[in-house]
Structures are given as C-alpha cells and as structure tokens.
Amino acid sequence: MDFTRRETLALGAGAAALTVLPFRVHAAADEAIAAFTGGADVADGGVTLTAPEIAENGNTVPISVDAEGAVSILVLASGNPTPGVATFNFGELAGSQMASTRIRLAGTQDVVAVAKMADGSFAKASSTVKVTIGGCGG
Amino acid sequence: MASGVKPRVKAPKKAEAGEVVTIKTLISHKMESGQRKDKEGNIIPRSIINRFTCDFNGKNVIDVTLEPAISTNPYFEFEATIPEAGELKFTWYDDDGSVYDEAKNVAIG
C-alpha cells in the first residue's frame, strides 16, 4: 500500500487529533470530581464499584456501588461525551449505602465512583469496562 | 411529554420492625440523551428523568440525580430500613416538568 505525501500528512493529523481527544475527556471527568469534592483529597479504597469486565451492549451496562458510611456517591464514565452518570444521596432510612442501576457507555473506558463519607472525607474506586457496541448512537 | 411512562416497583408487603429490605424500581422512559441525531442530522433534544427519590413516611431513603448516561427505562435497586408500618413513596422527575409517583404500603409482622 503506497501513500502519497498528501495522504501521509492527513494520517498524521488524524493521529494527532486522536491523542488529544481522550486527554480532554479525562479532564472533564477530573473537573466533575473536583466539583463534587471541592478540591479535597480523594483516597483509594473504601468504596466498591461492581461493573462487568466486558459489556457487549454499551446501552445498558449493569453497575453497582457500595460504600459503608457514605453520604453520597458520584458515578462517572470518563470516556462518555459528558462524564456524569448519577449521584446517589442516601437518606436517614437508607438500609445500606448500596445502589445498583444500568448505565450507557460510549466505548471501552474507566467507570469511576467517588464516595463522600459522613466525616467529610472522600474515597474513590474505578473499573475498566470493555464495550463491544457503544451506547451513544450516531 | 414523554409517552408510555409507567413506573414499576417491587417492594415487600410485610417486614419486621427495623428490618432492611431490598427495593427494585423500574420506570419505562426512553431517556433521550441529547447526543443522538435524527435522519436529517438534527440533534434530538434531551428528554430524560433527572431525579428519583424514595421516602418512607416522609423520611428520605435515597435521592438520585440522573444524567443522560443512565440507560433507557431507568432501573434502581437499593435497600431501605423499615422502622414501622407505613408507606413507601417513589417519585420520578422528568425534564419536561412531569412528575410520576408510585406508593407501596408496608405492614409490620
């Protein structure tokens, strides 16, 4: 396969755009975490995020979050066009700080859960989900 | 106005006082994300349920903020403490201002 000079340049530009894009998406997820925590430190552990390793259909991916002693849990999909997924706020009659739902994922990416604990600290967990068919449509 | 919205809730009819019960809810809703385009290339406007709450006798159990990344027909499973006999109230808030609710009575015994 031979490339003309013009095609080679176009390929190079495409590759450059590809490397820039995921970085910007991650920045959006980081901003969402910062808005939730107010810039506080986020520790790893203390929250459990259950997600499938491989999801055939990105339109409905079952996930579940669990963090004992949490007041609220923020769930983010770092590779979606908008990273926000859901925020669970637990009231006084919550039987446990656990919730399950189904989410959309645009492609293979990390799903992140950030829990706000009753004492004001934050904990984080993330899980990589491989998506065969993206769930955001064309 | 989203059409064909139907809330479904699975909760126990009876519980011991202070028991923790599992509740499952599902509401049929297309949850249009605002990202998709129609055949002419125009963006289909966002239309989702943006908030879901569950209360027992006026006390909050869970309050969820939903974003477009929640799947069609939003499903939630969570746990609630039942301190006394009473009513579980579930409320869904649509982007268009509609509010859908459902109630389930729980007896002690």
Could you tell me if residue A77 is inside a domain? yes
Could you tell me if residue A56 is inside a domain? yes
Could you tell me if residue A16 is inside a domain? yes
Print pLDDT tens along chain A (138 aa): 566 777 776 766 666 655 555 555 577 888 889 988 988 888 888 899 999 999 988 899 999 999 998 999 999 999 888 899 999 999 999 999 999 999 999 999 999 999 999 999 999 999 999 998 877 654
Could you tell me if residue A136 is inside a domain? no
CATH number of the domain to which A36 belongs? 2.60.40.2470
Contact check, Cβ <8 Å, B64/A88: yes
Contact check, Cβ <8 Å, B79/A86: no
Mean pLDDT of B35-50: 89
Q: What per-residue confidence (pLDDT) applies to B65? A: 94
Could you tell me if residue A37 is inside a domain? yes
DSSP code string of B77-100: EEEEEE-SSEEEEEEEEETTS-EE
Could you tell me if residue A138 is inside a domain? no
Query: Six-digit token pair at B80?
Result: 């609630």
Domain count, chain A: 1
**Cβ within 8 Å of A, B 90-109:** none
Determine the distance in angstroms separating the CA of B5 from the nearest CA of chain A, rounded to an integer: 18
A136/B34 Cα distance (integer angstroms): 10
Could you tell me if residue A23 is inside a domain? yes
Query: Six-digit token pair at B21?
Result: 């019960």
Q: What per-residue confidence (pLDDT) applies to A138? A: 43
Contacts of residue A105 in chain B, CB cutoff 8 Å? Answer: 69
Could you tell me if residue A17 is inside a domain? yes
Biggest CA-to-CA distance, chain A: 67
Contact check, Cβ <8 Å, B79/A96: yes
DSSP state of A37: H
Q: What per-residue confidence (pLDDT) applies to A46? A: 86
Q: What per-residue confidence (pLDDT) applies to A30? A: 86
Terminal Cα-to-Cα distance of chain B (whole angstroms): 41
Contact check, Cβ <8 Å, A104/B21: no
Contacts of residue B81 in chain A, CB cutoff 8 Å? Answer: 93-95
Q: Report the residue of B46, B79, B91 to disrupt the A interface, i.e. the one with the largest count of A CBs within 10 Å.
A: B79
Place of tokens 């925590």: A37
DSSP state of A105: -
Structural domain of residue A55, as residue ranges?
5-131
Place of tokens 């808005």: A35
Higher pLDDT, A16 or B20: B20
Entry pTM: 0.83
Provide, rounded to the nearest whole percent, the portion of chain B with pLDDT above 70.
97
Q: What per-residue confidence (pLDDT) applies to A81? A: 87
Res. B4 pLDDT band, cuts 50 70 90: confident
